[in-house]
Amino acid sequence: MATCGEVLVHLLERYGVDHVFGIPGVHTVELYRGLARSSIRHVTPRHEQGAGFMADGYARTRGKPGVCFIITGPGMTNITTAMGQAYADSIPMLVISRVQSRSQLGGGRGKLHELPNQSALVAGVAAFSHTLMSAAELPSVLARAFAVFQAGRPRPVHIEIPLDVLVENADALLGSTPVSVARAGAAPAAVQQMSQRLAAAKRPLILAGGGAIDAAAELTRLAEALGAPVALTINAKGMLPAAHPLLIGSTQTLLATRALVAEADVVLAIGTELAETDYDITFAGGFDIPGALLRVDIDPDQNVRNYPPQVALVADARIAAQALLTEVNRQPLAPRSPDWGTARVARLWAELEPAWDAATRAQTRFLNVVLEELPGVVFVGDSTQPVYSGNLTLNLNHPRRWFNASTGYGTLGYALPAAIGAWLGRGDGQPVVCLIGDGGLQFTLPELSSAVEARTPVIVLLWNNQGYEEIKKYMVNRDIEPVGVDIYTPDFIGVAKALGCAAQSVHGIEALRTALRAAADRQGPTLLEIDQGRWELPSL
């Protein structure tokens, strides 16, 4: 007899799942009954939040959902932060948990790990949560989940399975066929309206977000056809090559870039929320789009939030970009303003680059050294100073190589477990670097042992400033006496070594180069501690 739990593993395989992140517990052992006989690799984090962050990092590099097996009660409360991060950034994640038997749901009898209503708990961080009331529902609810991942706005999905359902006979479901759902095409009428406005524009501009990450080639050609400057959100970095003459990077929070956006007469926003943390990190307003706004998004609701458009198109970004490109190429283009396009972008960079302060220059140099030594690297970041600098100054040649928790939901401790998942998701052995501060690392420090156990050679670049320095500055700037920001700093080198990692302190660029080369040759994780106070501050 095949139980529901065994058939679940079988169907996950058929949907292409090759990794599961979870911590086995008495309430989830039936999920593991068929796992050892499957082709799916199980990775054990040290906390369920780590499982969620690993699944998140995996999804961002692999481009398909990360899957978690989570226990009832505390497992679910632990993973909700990671689900919130994935929800904010539209990352596909499948969270499968156990729940009390059907006759005991919401009973309040003091059962182990009991919560009144797990689905209600995760309602705000999931596309949907479903309680499986019979094994027969399994194929249809998995089809719903993968329909969200494949064709909708990808966000976490939660499926909870009562213990008595988990052990039901499910032999009849072994032949179930996975469902594949295509993404929405581009409505011809809307494409025609948008292409006419773009072709007639004198100063067109493109704002591209993480939702358009798979449309990089098509959007690059569209920008070139229009002579349109392109701004990328943090999650969209790399969609245009770093040296592309139309790229204005991820600098939308800066006044000079805001002025450029305000000059555009037609703005195409594609796959972006147009949200605060990508366009207005000052939290004081001031990002204006006075030109005609055209929006493309897979989510109809998001298409009209924050900045209402003149024309909106609900569609897959890649299909829409290709359709727009085809139509634009069929039409005569209005004469472009002579100071627009590449000339205007060059003028912007000439204004921005001399204005970086010494710390930003030093941190950018630090990141560029990593790129020089590890050209294929993926940067997975936390909320820490080099990440803030890189968000503004670092441009990459490929997408899915720079993502972090400094925007959107903004949780600390994300980078280490997400980097582990990212390395597993890449599957090509290329390096993954975790950029994290001493405060953030203490949120998820035990996951270093997960990296050792999973043999993931992530390179942890620890930027140590002995506390929450950015928050301290913020308090001082608001005339608040700093409290709670000067925290105890442990011996990270000693801790990392005790957990099985290679670890050393690094001072200066040449020492960093040597340490990076050595770390790239190891089979396991390496922690390199950079003490901000002792770091040599080179000029760019």
Q: Write down all domains in the chain, each with its CATH number in brackets.
A: 4-173 (3.40.50.970), 188-352 (3.40.50.1220), 356-534 (3.40.50.970)
Average pLDDT, the chain: 92
Average pLDDT over residues 25-52: 92
Average pLDDT over residues 24-43: 89
Confidence of residue 262 (pLDDT cuts 50, 70, 90): very high
| Angle between helical axes of 48-62 and 74-88 (0-180°, round to 10) | 30
Q: Which of 439-448, 474-483, 500-509 is predicted least confidently?
A: 474-483
Q: How many helices (H) and strands (E) does the chain have?
A: 20, 17
Torsion of CA 242, 248, 250, 256, to 10 degrees: 150
* Higher per-residue pLDDT: 537 or 179: 179
pLDDT at 107: 63
Confidence of residue 252 (pLDDT cuts 50, 70, 90): very high
Average pLDDT over residues 313-339: 95
- Separation in Å, CA 96 to CA 62, 71, 168, 449: 20, 9, 17, 24
Could you report the per-residue pLDDT of 409-418, keeping only the tens digit for each? 889 999 999 9
Average pLDDT over residues 507-512: 92
Is pLDDT above 70 for 284? no
| % of the chain with per-residue pLDDT over 90 | 77
Is pLDDT above 70 for 443? yes
Identify whether the C-beta of residue 26 lies closer than 8 Å to the C-beta of residue 163.
no
* Higher per-residue pLDDT: 482 or 266: 266
Q: Which of 18-27, 374-383, 418-427 is predicted least confidently?
A: 18-27
3-state DSSP assignment of residue 317: helix
| % of the chain with per-residue pLDDT over 70 | 95
pLDDT at 474: 80
Could you report the per-residue pLDDT of 61-116, keeping only the tens digit for each? 999 999 999 998 899 999 999 999 999 999 999 999 987 666 666 666 766 666 77
Average pLDDT over residues 268-295: 85
**Cα(349)–Cα(265) distance, rounded to whole angstroms?**
21
Could you report the per-residue pLDDT of 165-218, keeping only the tens digit for each? 988 888 888 888 999 999 989 999 999 999 999 999 999 999 999 999 999 999
Start-to-end C-alpha separation, the chain: 66
Is pLDDT above 80 for 282? no
Q: Which of 103-117, 212-226, 426-440 is predicted least confidently?
A: 103-117
Is pLDDT above 90 for 436? yes
**Cα(98)–Cα(76) distance, rounded to whole angstroms?**
10
How many other CB atoms are found less than 10 A from the CB of residue 430? 15
pLDDT at 539: 41
Average pLDDT over residues 151-174: 91
Q: Which of 34-38, 55-59, 67-71 is predicted least confidently?
A: 34-38
Phi, psi (rounded to 5 degrees) for 444: -135, 25
Phi, psi (rounded to 5 degrees) for 358: -60, -40
pLDDT at 101: 67
Strand segments, DSSP code E, in 311-422 are: 311-314, 378-381, 402-404
Confidence of residue 401 (pLDDT cuts 50, 70, 90): very high
Per the structure block, which two tokens stand in for 194? 């948008």
Is pLDDT above 50 for 540? no
